[in-house]
Amino acid sequence: MTIITDERCTNYHSPGHPERPFRVAGTVKQLKAQMKIKVDWAKPEAAPLEKVLRAHTKNHYQRLGEPHDFDGDTAYHEGIREHALRGAGGALKALELAKAGKPHFSLLRPPGHHATKERAMGFCYLGSVAIAALEAKAARAKRVAVFDFDVHHGNGTEDILAKRDDLAFFSIHQHPAYPGTGTKSFDNCHNYTVRPGLPREDYRKTAEKALADLKAFKPDVVIASAGFDAYAGDPLCNQKLSADDFRWYGKTLAGLGVPLANAMEGGYSDDLPDLVTAYLEGLLGK
């Protein structure tokens, strides 16, 4: 199992903000201490500008270098554009490893799935997974799918990938919840909503439907936006999943039998290292 990470992504924070360095640092610490999974470590390169500009406008890219906050949730930090470029580079590295049949996980921050073509929002600055999906298409993959199981709708990924040929976006997410989008499916974007406090068994039924539709799309590449905030102990939403559910996600996605790229999105509880580890075990069929 290759873990794509870079200690520099822990060098920024806002006091009290849920998108904190522990998300990466705590998970790295646990993965180094555990013995069940043999881990190799890799660092990402910054995503090349030409690949970023497939997904985002030049104005957006330039705005990331301007030293003032983007919104109340999404602060400017010194060097945040470089952190976001490495995050996108991690997703591109994940795609490369997926094509080579090597299990992996991109463990970086900031997350990316709320960043739209023209706007940073929701802790996200560049749409890492969307950038990787467009790279897969540019490399002549026939049918590319993004599967987003973060508890929040991946509105940015949807904005970037909507109405593109042979690309499909599948998102299971709570509604109502931030950012308030994703209530309907359209064209190549498939949205599956769950209410707050849904029983775990019912959540799994909705996830099974989403995964069945993903399989029916017959992708030759899948990119997973791996969010862990549907966990019962997460402070930002109201779902009831356990570590076993994330292990199931990993095992089911790996079982599709096509190249699978994996990049972390949300997940804000102190138990995040356990949840990521469970997902990795699922990817390995454990």
Integer Cα distance of 172 and 151 in angstroms: 7
Determine which one of 56, 104, 113, 114 is catalytic.
Answer: 114
Q: Give the residue among 98, 149, 95, 132 at the shortest CA–CA distance from 276.
A: 149
Query: 166 with 187: CB under 8 angstroms?
Result: no
CA 197 to centroid of chain Cα atoms: 23
Residues 6+ apart with CB under 8 A from 24: 5, 9, 10, 107, 108, 109
Q: Please report, for residues 31, 74, 119, 212, 265, the alpha-carbon distance to residue 226 in angstroms, rounded to integers and kept in the order given.
A: 17, 20, 21, 18, 5
Please say if 104 is a catalytic residue: no
Q: Give the residue among 105, 114, 34 at the shortest CA–CA distance from 284.
A: 105
> Which ranges of the chain would DSSP assign to H, the alpha helix?
22-33, 49-52, 58-63, 80-99, 128-138, 155-161, 200-216, 243-254, 272-283
* 126: three-class secondary structure by DSSP: coil
Torsion of CA 193, 197, 201, 205, to 10 degrees: 0
Q: Which amino acid is at 271?
A: D
Which residues are tagged catalytic? 114
